[in-house]
Amino acid sequence: MAGSDSPSSDLPAGENPTSDLINGTPVSETESSTIGTISRKIQDSLSIGKTHKFWETQPVGQYKDLGDSSLPEGPIESPTPIGEVKQEPYNLPSLYEWSTCDIGSEETCTEVYNLLTNNYVEDDENMFRFNYSKEFLRWALHPPGYFKSWHIGVRVKATKKLVAFITGVPAKIRVHDEVVTMAEINFLCVHKRLRSKRLAPVMIKEVTRRVHLENIWQAAYTAGVVLPTPIATCQYWHRSLNPKKLIDVGFSRLGARMTMSRTIKLYKLPDSTVTPGFRKMELRDVPAVTRLIKNYLAQFVVAPEFNENDVEHLLLPTENVVDSYLVESPETHEITDFCSFYTLPSTILGNPNYSTLKAAYSFYNVTTRTPLLQLMNDALIVAKQKDYDVFNALDVMHNESFLKELKFGPGDGQLHYYLYNYRIRHALKPSELGLVLL
């Protein structure tokens, strides 16, 4: 039975929970949070001196090479002739089988949604779990040029129950002056009762094999854990929009010498936006927004290389998935500024009054005329109008310039960015990174 919330009679008997290899993209809490960060499973055992048996076999930056200036930047291993790429899938434990997941199918999308909803990333205290909507999954996994074969499931042979999932989507990512076609890897999820089966390494190898079959040899991914070796380490910051609810559900707590009424007043926002010409993005704006974003991202060491098709797919507003606003000069009608955020709610576990935390995540923001502080304050105002509880932002690009001023608090977890089969000699500062992975 797909999507069962219970320990599930559809699973083979005798499965024991244990830790997974990688968790997905993390969310961390507000400055005064009482709980740990979602997906922050970094223990002392993950220190730099610790071996990572799987990752030490992979073409990724290794700790032993840190600071070795003789190593060239760029691909670590050369491409293999396509005919020499392994043609057969990797072997799974005998009770399981591979399944290519058609996210366009309502039935399969529901299975994936249920697997993620019940088994994906949680915080350390098991109070919150990511709740990607089906619309979000279709949006994230169907960019221009996507490969259905990169949406990979693992099923129980006997019952066909979906018990694990991993995905890749193609993307053009520029590193310094080199534009590289890569796979963005995401949504690695193993059913809680199968974490002892060591499925994650074989799933990573299988998605890598399928990416290689398309003559693509590099990948980008993020994790809340430290693996060999991050190209950048970023931090989430959080801006309360509904402070009473956030405190009631344990996402954050009252600050010292603060009352609830003072806290609500502290985070209160104006009723309407202040920037003249601030409006929702429309289809006709795609060429102008593409030009704005391309010009802006050119300054970062690592950033996506977007074309108009990418911008239309990723940034044109989609209800409860992605919101995009721009500033159109009232005089010249030129598009001068742009901001966007995507929607990723979390299920609130075990709370009698609330079931969902509605979170907005800062996506791509570009200013040429409007101060970034003002533009992002307008983004907070529209997010509040749309009943978001919290607005999250990484300290990438120029985000650091507005975080403290707009009353964001730092989370207590970190998000690490990685490249597969591509070496960058020196780790980047968050402000040198122009990439947001979903």
Exposure string over 78-114, b if 16+ CB within 10 A, otherwise e: eeeeeeebeeeeeebeebbebbebebeeeebbebbbb
Residue 46 annotated to the active site: no
Residue pair 174/302 in contact (Cβ under 8 Å)? The answer is: yes
> Which is higher by pLDDT, 324 or 26?
324
CA–CA dist 206, 203 (Å, integer) = 5
Active-site residue, selected from the candidate residues 188, 344, 437, 438? 438
Q: For residue 64, what pLDDT band results from cuts at 50, 70 and 90? A: confident
Q: Which amino acid is at 131?
A: N
- Asked whether residue 116 carries a pLDDT value surpassing 80, the answer given is yes
Report the candidate in 141, 170, 172, 185 with the shortest Cα–Cα distance to residue 306: 172
CA angle 80, 83, 85 (to 5 degrees): 55
Rank 15-24, 92-101, 115-124, 193-202 by mean pLDDT and report only the highest. 92-101
- Asked whether residue 208 carries a pLDDT value surpassing 70, the answer given is yes
The values of phi and psi at residue 141, to 5°, are -105, 0
Average pLDDT, the chain: 88
Range 318-340 average pLDDT = 97
The values of phi and psi at residue 76, to 5°, are -85, -40
Write the CA distances from 312 to 86, 139, 407, integer angstroms: 35, 11, 31
Spatial neighbors of 280 by CB under 8 A, at least 6 apart, are 317, 323, 324, 325
CA–CA dist 248, 343 (Å, integer) = 21
3-state secondary structure of 200: helix
- 262-268 contacts, C-beta under 8 A, 24 or more apart: 266/407, 267/239, 267/240, 267/241, 267/243, 267/407
Angle between helices 286-297 and 308-315 (to 10 degrees): 100
CA–CA dist 292, 189 (Å, integer) = 35
3-38 pLDDT, tens per residue? Answer: 333 333 344 443 333 233 333 333 333 333 323 333
Write the CA distances from 379 to 223, 285, 316, 340, 401, integer angstroms: 27, 18, 16, 8, 15
Write the CA distances from 386 to 43, 209, 322, 389, integer angstroms: 37, 42, 12, 9
Q: Give the helix/strand (H/E) hosting 290.
A: helix 286-297
Please, what are the domains in the chain? 44-232 (3.40.630.170), 235-415 (3.40.630.170)
pTM of the model: 0.88
Q: Which amino acid is at 63?
A: Y
* Beta partners for residue 172, in sequence order: 181
CA–CA dist 31, 129 (Å, integer) = 19
296-307 pLDDT, tens per residue? Answer: 999 999 999 999
Do strands 390-394 and 366-367 pair parallel, antiparallel, or not at all (unpaired)? unpaired
Helix, strand counts (H, E) of the chain = 9, 17
Residue pair 75/422 in contact (Cβ under 8 Å)? The answer is: yes
**DSSP letter assigned to residue 169:** E
CA angle 20, 21, 22 (to 5 degrees): 95
Q: Which amino acid is at 107?
A: E
356-375 pLDDT, tens per residue? Answer: 999 999 999 999 999 999 99
- Asked whether residue 266 carries a pLDDT value surpassing 80, the answer given is yes
